Chains A and B, each alone.
Chain A
Amino acid sequence: MIESLVSSLGLQWQLEQRTDVSPWRGAAFKILAILLALAISGIAIQVSGLSFPAMLNKVVTSTFGTDYGRQQLGILGTPLILTGMAVIIGQRMRLFNIGVEGQLFMGAWAGALIGLHVDGPILLIMPAMFIAAALAGAIWAYFPTILRIKAGISEILTTLLLNFVARHWVFYWTFGPWRDTFVANLSASERIPYELPTIYGSMHIGIFIALLIPVVLYLALERTVWGYEVSTIGDNPRAGVFAGMPATRQMLIVMLISGAIAGLAGVIEVTGTVHRLSSSISQGYGFLGVMVGILAEGSPIALVPSGLLLAVIFNAGIVLKTQGLSFIAVLALTGLILFLAAIGEVAAKYRRVRVIEDASEDEAREHSTRLVCKPSADGNPERTMERYSDGESYHL
C-alpha cells in the first residue's frame, strides 16, 4: 500500500551537472534567492495586514539615512563577519561548526572574567582579555572536534548542543555571582572598565579586527603550506592522507582557529558594544554566521559584503519592532534566504533534464547523444559527445 502511495508522487525529471559554472552564475543565484525570499515575506506581510513597502522604506531610510543606522551597521557587522569567518574556516575542512554561538559566549565570559577581576593598564589588560577569549572559544571547539576525530561523532550535533550549555553557563554568572545589583532589572555583570576606542559615534575599532582577520586567514589559506594542506585534505581527505598530510591534526587546528575567532567576536562585543557580560551578549550572531559563510561561498573576501548584508537584515528586525513585526521574524527571513540559497547553489551547477522513460523514438533521439571524433591541431583526434537536438557538446 505504502509503495503505491510512494510511487504516486511522480517526479519526471532529474538533474545533470553543468560542465562549467562561472562564479558570477553562483552569485546571481544567491541574489535571486535573497530577492525571492524578500518577495515571499513581502507577500506574507501584506497578507497579514501590514504594509511591506512602508516597512522597506523605513528600513532603508533608518539604516542608511541616519548616522545611528550607519553606526549600527558597523557594530552589527563586526560579530557577523567574525562568526562567518569561523564557519568558513571549518568548512574548508568539511567541518560544520554550528557551535560558534556557544564559543562566542564562552569567549565573552572569559574576557569578562579578566576584565572584571584584574586591575591594570588597559594596554596590558585588553590583550589579556582577547587572549583569554580566544582560548576559551578554542577550548569550547576542542571537545566536539576530539569526539569527531576519535569516535566519528557528528560535530554538527555536539557543537550545537554545547551552545545551550554555554548559554546557561553565562546565565549562571550574569544572574548569580557577577550580577550588577545596582541596576536591578538587568541580567548583566557590572560595567567593565576596559573599552575599545570608538571611531564613528558608538562604532568601535572592532570593525578593523573583523576586517583584518579574514585578510590574514585568506593569506594563510592561499599562500602557505598549511593552507595548501588544509584545502587538499578538505577537497579529498583520502588523497591528503595518502600524500602524508596529518589530516586529524589539521582538523583540530582548523577547529581551534574557528573557536578562537568566535571567542574573539565575543570579547569584542563585551569590550566594544555592550561593556558588560550580559546574558544576551549574542543575539544569535553565531547562527547568522552560518548564513554569512554560506552567502560568501567560503571566500574570506566575499565575507565582508555578506556580513554587512546580514547586518542590514538584522538591523531591519530592530527597526521594525515598532511596526508590529516581532524581532524573531527576522530569523524566519534568514531561514528562508538560506533555504532558497541552498537550492540556488544546486540550480547554478545543474541543469534540469527530463527523464525519458516512456519516450517515443523521436523524443529519445532528441535527447540522446552521439560520439564525434574530430581531428585537432596536434594530430590526436578530439573526442566529444554531441547532443542530437541542439548539437551541444560535452568533452569526454
Chain B
Amino acid sequence: MESIISGILVSAVTSGAVIIIAAIGEILNEQAGVLNLGLEGIMAMGAVTAIIVVNGITPNAYLGLLAASLVGVLMGAIFAFGTVTFKANQVLCGLAYTFLGIGLAGQIGGSVAGQPAMARFEQIRLPFLSTIPGVGDILFNHNILVYFAYLLLPAVSTYILFITRHGINIRAVGENPAAADASGVPVDRIRFFYTSVGGALAGMAGAYLTLGLTPAWTEGVTGGRGWIAIALVIFSGWKPFYVLIGALLFGAITSIGYMAQIHGWSIPSSFLAMLPYLATILLMVVPILVRGGDQHKRLVIGPSASGQPYYRE
C-alpha cells in the first residue's frame, strides 16, 4: 500500500510539472491582458520540435528544450502579432492556434511517431534532501525541469508580478490598459513580450512531455493538457504558487488512473481516463466554494482586461 501511495505521489509530481510550466506562462500573459487559448497547439509544436531535434539532429535534451522554447517564442510572437498588433479576437486566435499547432505537429511528427526519445532529462538526486525518509524520493529525485517547475519558475514569476514595479505595470496593463497607457506604460509592448514568454513556456512544457514524461511522440500526446493548464490558471486565481497545488491535485488524480491500470483494479480504463478532465472542472469550482459570500463575490475574478484588445481612444 505504501508503495502505491508513493508511486502516485511521484507520478503526481512529474505529471503536474507539465501543467505548471504551461500554466505559469499563461498566468504571465493573462496578467498582461492576453488570453492565449492556443496553449495546446504550442505545446504540441514544442513537443514535436524537441523530439525531432533530439532524434534527428543531436541527442541532447537541452538542445531539444532550447529548440522547443524558440518555436514557442515564435508562435507566441505570431499570436501577439495577431491579437495585440492587429487586435484580432483572442478566443478565435486561440482556437485557431490549437488546430494549427496540433495539425502541424501531427504532419511533421509523422516521421518520429512512436519512436522513443534518443535523449531525455536525467533524474537529478539532490544531495542531503533526497535522503530525508518518506519524502526524499518523492520530492527530490526528479529531472531538472521538475525543479524548474516547482521552485524556480513560480518564485521568479511571483517576484516579477507581485514585487517589482515592472510587475505592477504588467498587472495594470491587464487590469486597466487605458489607465496604464495614460501613465506612460507601453501597453502593446508589454502584452507582446509576455505573450511571447507564455509561448516559450508552453513550448518548454511540450519538450518536457516528449523528453521527460512520456518520453516519445505520438499524435495527440498533449491530451488536453494545454486546456487543463488554462483551467488551473482560473483555479489559482492568477497566482503562480497556487498553480502548484492545483497541478499536484490534478497529477494525483491522473496517476490514480495509471496505478489502477498497473495494479489491475476492475475499473474500466475509459472511466479512469475521464478523471483528470472532471477533476479539472471540479478544481475550477473549488475557489468559488472557498470564497463563499454573496453571489457577486463568488464570481471568478481575474485580470479585468484579459481577453480584451486595447484600442487607444
Contacts and interface: CB of A to CB of B under 8 A. Distances in A.
Asked if chains A and B come from one complex, the reply is yes
Interface of A: 2-3, 5-7, 9-11, 14-15, 17, 96, 98, 147, 151-154, 156-158, 160-162, 164-165, 168-169, 171-172, 175-176, 287, 290, 294, 325-326, 328-339, 341-343, 345-347, 350
B106 interface: yes
Q: From DSSP, what is the main secondary structure of chain A's interface residues?
A: helix
B86 A346 contact: yes
Nearest to B108: A48
Given A7-B186, A168-B273, A161 B103 contact: no
B86 A347 contact: yes
Contacts of A14: 311-312
Contacts of B189: 6-7, 9-11
B207 to A, nearest CB: 20
A328 B193 contact: no
14 contacts: A6-B186, A160-B224, A161-B277, A161-B278, A161-B280, A164-B224, A165-B278, A172-B270, A175-B270, A332-B100, A332-B102, A332-B107, A335-B96, A346-B88
B224 to A, nearest CB: 5
Contact of A160 (B100, B193, B227, B278): B227
B193 A5 contact: yes
B97 interface: yes
Contact of B82 (A6, A157, A339): A339
A154 B235 CA distance: 12
A333 B103 contact: yes
Contacts of A175: 270
A334 B103 contact: yes
Given A151-B300, A287-B99, A331-B103, A6 B190 contact: yes
A172 B273 CA distance: 10
A338 B101 CA distance: 12
A339 B277 contact: no
Query: 7 shortest A-B CB distances, which residue pairs?
Result: A332-B103, A335-B100, A335-B99, A331-B103, A328-B106, A152-B299, A338-B96
Contacts of A165: 274, 277-278
A335 B41 contact: yes
Given A331-B100, A335-B98, 5 more contacts: A158-B284, A161-B231, A339-B93, A341-B92, A346-B309
A283 to B, nearest CB: 13
A328 B277 contact: no
Interface in B86-131: 86-89, 91-93, 95-104, 106-107, 110
Interface string B238-282: 000000000000000000000000000000101101100110110
A341 B169 CA distance: 31
B281 A335 contact: no
B140 to A, nearest CB: 31
B172 interface: no
B178 to A, nearest CB: 13
B85 A11 contact: yes
Grouping DSSP codes into helix (H, G, I), strand (E, B) and loop, the B interface class, with mixed when no group exceeds half, is: helix
Contacts of B230: 157
B231 A157 contact: yes
A147 B268 contact: no
B87 A15 contact: yes
Given A151-B300, A164-B224, A169-B274, A329 B103 contact: yes
A161 B190 contact: no
Contact of B234 (A3, A153, A330, A337): A153
Given A151-B285, A161-B277, A168-B273, A290 B188 contact: no
B228 interface: yes
B82 A343 contact: yes
A161 B224 contact: yes
A379 to B, nearest CB: 32
Contact of B288 (A6, A151, A334): A151
A336 B100 contact: yes
B95 A98 contact: yes
Given A165-B277, A347-B86, A339 B299 contact: no
B101 A342 contact: no
B192 interface: yes
A153 B288 contact: yes
A172 B298 CA distance: 36
Nearest to B160: A2
Contacts of B100: 331-332, 335-336, 338-339
B95 A290 contact: yes
